[in-house]
Amino acid sequence: DIQMTQSPSSLSASVGDRVTITCRASQSISIYLNWYQQKPGKAPNLLIYDASSLQGEVPSRFSGSGSGTDFTLTISSLQPEDFATYYCQQSYSTPTFGQGTKVEIK
């Protein structure tokens, strides 16, 4: 199985900050990388698929980049509703998720 490693595991940030989360795959996965947001007690919500495509009505402050083994999720200006846990997931082969990054209020 392809291993997905996110960093950091958690971070503290303020409203308005630019936040970047990274995800590294154990082997090349082309652009088959997806990002989800999960709030406590809720199901995950798809934010970005195929590394950089924004899903549905996801706000444009969210963006994704990368290919091969290294990927990033960027929130350009953190909003109060963005405090949550974020997961990357590869769809190149049998799906695997990163361990998650918890974004907390500073």
Nearer of residues 16 and 56 to another protein, judged by Cβ? 56
Of 16-24, 61-69, 73-81, 90-98, the segment contacting another protein by CB under 8 A is 90-98
Total residues interacting with another protein, rule: CB under 8 A: 24
CB atoms closer than 10 angstroms to residue 48: 23
Q: Which is nearer to another protein, 55 or 74 (CB)?
A: 55
CA-to-CA distance for 7 and 20, rounded, in angstroms? 9
Position 32 contacts another protein (CB under 8 A):
yes
Q: What 3-state DSSP class applies to 81?
A: helix
Q: List the structure tokens of 41.
A: 């007690």
Question: Which residues, other chains included, contact 40 with Cβ-Cβ below 8 Å and sequence gap of 6+?
Answer: none
Query: Residues in the site for another protein, rule: CB under 8 A?
Result: 1, 32, 34, 36, 38, 42-46, 49-50, 55-56, 87, 89, 91, 94-100
